[in-house]
Structure 1
Amino acid sequence: MPTATASYQTENGRRYLIQLCKHFAHKIDVEYDAEHGGNGRCSFGPAAAKMSADDTGIRFALSAPDEESLDRGKGVIESHLVRFAFREKLERLDWKSAEPA
């Protein structure tokens, strides 16, 4: 199962995580746990994302059954975060291939 990770250093990591979870919850199932430092989970079709945030940034771990689904999930996360972080002039995330956990 292909997996990828990305992170973005920002003081607004928690805010962006909440914003992403609230936005995604309009169309897909989302879990958000504010008590443990800001953690979220969501699925984009067959792709599943784990998200975490704190005062230093926001992190994503994405897995999917195939590269096409993985790429779609990366695109959804990235396009929304870029839009929400427009004041910080974020242009893209630097996704890294990762070994499945």
Structure 2
Amino acid sequence: MPSAEARIPTDRPSRYLVQLCKHFSNKGRHLGHRARPHHGADVTQPPGTHMPPELRPDQIQVEWTDTQGVLTLPWGRCTMDAASDALVLRAEADDEQGLRRLQDLLAAHLSRFGRREELRVEWREPAPAARCAEDAGSPATTAASTSARRRHLTWAGVTVLGILAVAVHLGLAGAVLSTPNWTGWAAGTVVLAVLLKIVAVTFLGRRVHRRSRRQAG
């Protein structure tokens, strides 16, 4: 979902937040009851704050307090926060065209409301930290993390299995060598079995490693 942020320095961020939200709230109630135009102008909409003609009253939703606000339009959604020294906006939409329409509408209104302070709305992409937080919950990231955990657990299991097999066979070999009744060839057979176990575990570990690399690729 495309998004953009704007940080507008001002000594009165709460005032502009409330003014912007009230303006859209009033437009939502009165879009269908505009006064008759005088000399070709719509007296209910000052220059610079015209609403798109296709926008219906029920398509404007606004909620706000003195420090936070949320504006929802058909093209997207904007959250507003009044910081100590700036009004912070975050706009998001389903596509780039909707995002641009939302950005232009908000910028036009704030530029008019703050013309004495010469407010300027400069949109930019969200900070990398915010994008990383959004991507952290994406299906691709989750799948990659799950795959990495599975590979780690598989390697840990193979390692533990190898250690246990070697320990058991070494213990058996020690017991055989310490018993005088066992002949030399029997002791050699046990030692050979230990070596074969080590080779088998090593081979298994390599196969698991190769399979994990193919799946990761």
Is the TM value for this pair above 0.5? yes
Choose between structure 1 and 2: higher helix proportion.
Answer: 2
- For residue 16 of structure 1, what is the aligned residue in structure 2? 16
Deviation at 1:60, TM superposition (A): 0.3
Deviation at 1:12, TM superposition (A): 1.1
After TM superposition, the structure 1 = structure 2 runs for residues 30-45 of structure 1, keeping only pairs within 5 Å, are 30-34=62-66, 38-45=67-74
The total of aligned residue pairs comes to 97
Structure number with greater Rg is: 2
Choose between structure 1 and 2: higher strand proportion.
Answer: 1
In the alignment, structure 1 residue 60 sits paired with structure 2 residue 92: no
Superposition CA RMSD, Å? 1.4
- For residue 96 of structure 1, what is the aligned residue in structure 2? 124
Long gaps (5+) in structure 1:
none
Identity of aligned residues (%): 35
The higher relative CO (CA closer than 8 Å, separation ≥ 6) is in 1
Structure-1 separation of matches of 2:125 and 2:86:
19
Structure-2 separation of matches of 1:57 and 1:47:
22
SS for the counterpart of 2:64 is: strand
TM-score by length of 2: 0.43
Deviation at 1:81, TM superposition (A): 0.3
Deviation at 1:6, TM superposition (A): 0.3
Structure-2 separation of matches of 1:52 and 1:94:
16
Long gaps (5+) in structure 2:
29-59, 135-217
TM-score by length of 1: 0.88
**Residue 79 of structure 1 is aligned with which of 102, 108, 116?**
108
